[in-house]
Structure 1
Amino acid sequence: MQPTEFKQTPSKYQPLIEVDDTTRATFYRKTYTHVALAVLLFIVLETMLLRIDPLVELMLSLAQGWTWLLVLGGFMFATSYAEKLAHTTHDKTTQYGALFLFVLAEAIIFVPLVYIALFYGEMEYFSTINQAAIMTLALFTGLSAVVLLTKKDFSFLRSFLAIGFVIAIGAIIAGMIFGFNLGLVFSAGMVVLAAGTILYQTSQLVHKYDTDQYVGASLGLFASLMLLFWYVLSIFMGRD
């Protein structure tokens, strides 16, 4: 998924970079509270989806070959639509609806990976998921802190990230055509790419958003967090 490009909004909403420290701190608190709530909602939805056997079987069957590209295409369409809604309106009902749609799409796309981690291995896979989650949160926190403390503008990463995602999609398609496993090296590269999106999205949070767009900001950060978690978990599973 490519990084979200901020769209300018009506002037009655103050750019975050122009407000005082108290207002900015309030915005940050609201944004990261919504990220935490999105993660909690993801866990709840994922737990519910994994109990629906027909859905699990369907997602596992679709996770093979070209059908997975169709799933990814549907996922990208749904998430892009949700991002557009969240970033182009100040209507809170629409923003929260977009965030819910995005979290639901993430929960669905994660079903095969989490199911394999939980049920195809032994009990140590519970530990694997926990370890991957802790590593993901640590990386996310560290990268976010770098931007929030230094206030460095990482907007220049957008072009590099876009190129990186195009290359990644090409590698996935090539793997399906020629039947090779992308392996740990690809997952490590995607972790680097996900780290770049976190820097970029947090930079957008500091420099580009308006004071009313904390829901849209949280959606962008949640998207980067889940991309990072996917590939960190993939690495931990491949290691065992």
Structure 2
Amino acid sequence: MENYDNKIILSQATDQERVAFYKKTYAHVGGGVLAFLFFEWLLFQNANIVLFALSMTQGYRWLLMLGGFMLITNYAESTVMRTSNRNTQYLGFALYAFAQAFIFIPLIFIAIEYTGGTALLEKAGIVTLGLFAGISAIVFITKKDFSFIRAGLTMGFFIAIGLILAGVLFGFDLGLWFSVGMCALAGGSILYQTSQMVHKYGTEDYVPAALGLFASLMLLFWYVIQIFMSRD
């Protein structure tokens, strides 16, 4: 086996070690989803928080909200990635899940209020999990390293940010096809993160691996909801 920074590289680990790593990683992704749902429920118990989040969707305030979200999530992600302290990693993961729950408030509120319940969210959740499982399976079946798509994903995210900024500043709706494109980008991110998990991480890096997958999953969920809402 090979060691890198005193860790066993997953690609050089035994089958038992790899299986244990995958179980821990996906268990932590599931834990992230549960934390997101708990934080979402908690935030919706306070009407003032909901009203504040809704007020931040207007004009330049949405840019401020997005900027704050990106700062917090980047800090949380870097905290998880740069330390091996498990407690610190969990705190960073929890902060990331909380930030996701907060920025989802307006979207979930609109989905519930304007479609008469949670049916749309449930359908979007099922579709998102199905896509997540299917895309992840591609890596495990093909055993290919998809690191080469990183440059394309980076460029795609920069283009998306530019379009979002233009939409807010000039007041136009990005529409259905933007959501479809973002779902494709999120799918590529899941493919990349799963590949990183299989080929790049050490056997003790299941929390960072889970955070990368969780982030991509939440991005996909956001735009699947958008697509469902555009149909209703």
Q: Report the CA distance between 1:41 and its aligned residue.
A: 1.1
Q: TM-score under structure 1 normalisation?
A: 0.93
- What's the CA shift for 1:120? 3.1
- 1:211 CA drift (Å): 1.0
- Kindly state the Cα deviation for residue 26 of structure 1 after the two structures are TM-superposed: 0.3
Q: Paired residue for 1:212, among 197, 204, 208?
A: 204
- Identity between Structure 1 and Structure 2 (%): 53
SS of residue in 2 equivalent to 1:156: helix
Q: Aligned to 2:220, which of 216, 224, 228?
A: 228
Deviation at 1:46, TM superposition (A): 0.4
Query: How far, CA to CA, are the matches of 1:236 and 1:150 in structure 2?
Result: 31
TM-score w.r.t. the length of structure 2 is 0.97
User: What's the CA shift string for 1:60-117, capped at 9, x where partnerless?
Assistant: 0101111111111111111111111111111001110110010001000100000111
Offset at 1:10?
5.3
State which of 39, 48, 59 in structure 2 corresponds to 1:54: 48
> What letter matches 2:23 in structure 1?
R
Counterpart-to-counterpart distance in 2, 1:86 and 1:163: 24
Please provide the CA RMSD for this pair: 1.1
Q: CA–CA distance in 2 between the matches of 1:184 and 1:218?
A: 29
Pick one of 37, 52, 56 that aligns with 1:43: 37
For each residue in 1:159-191, what CA deviation from the matched residue of structure 2 results, as whole angstroms up to 9, or x when unmatched? Answer: 101100111011111112221100101000000
- In structure 1, what is the equivalent of residue 186 of structure 2? 194
Query: For 2:135 and 2:100, how far apart are their aligned partners in 1?
Result: 22
Q: What does the per-residue CA deviation read over 1:202-237, in whole Å, with 9 as the maximum and x for residues that have no partner?
A: 000001111111011100000000000000001001
2: CA distance between counterparts of 1:186 and 1:65? Answer: 19
**Maintained 8 Å contact 2:63/2:168:** no
Q: 1: distance between equivalents of 2:193 and 2:31?
A: 18
Map 1:60-79; keep pairs closer than 5 Å. Answer: 60-79=54-73
Aligned residues: 230
**Greater than 3 Å deviation, 4+ residue runs:** none
Gap regions ≥5 residues in structure 2:
none
Question: Distance between the aligned counterparts of 2:77 and 2:134, measured in 1?
Answer: 24
2-structure distance, mates of 1:88, 1:177: 35
Separation in 1 of the partners of 2:218 and 2:194?
15
From 94, 98, 121, the counterpart of 1:129:
121
Q: For structure 1, list consecutive stretches of 5 or more residues without a partner in the other structure.
A: 1-8
Letter aligned with residue 144 of structure 1? S
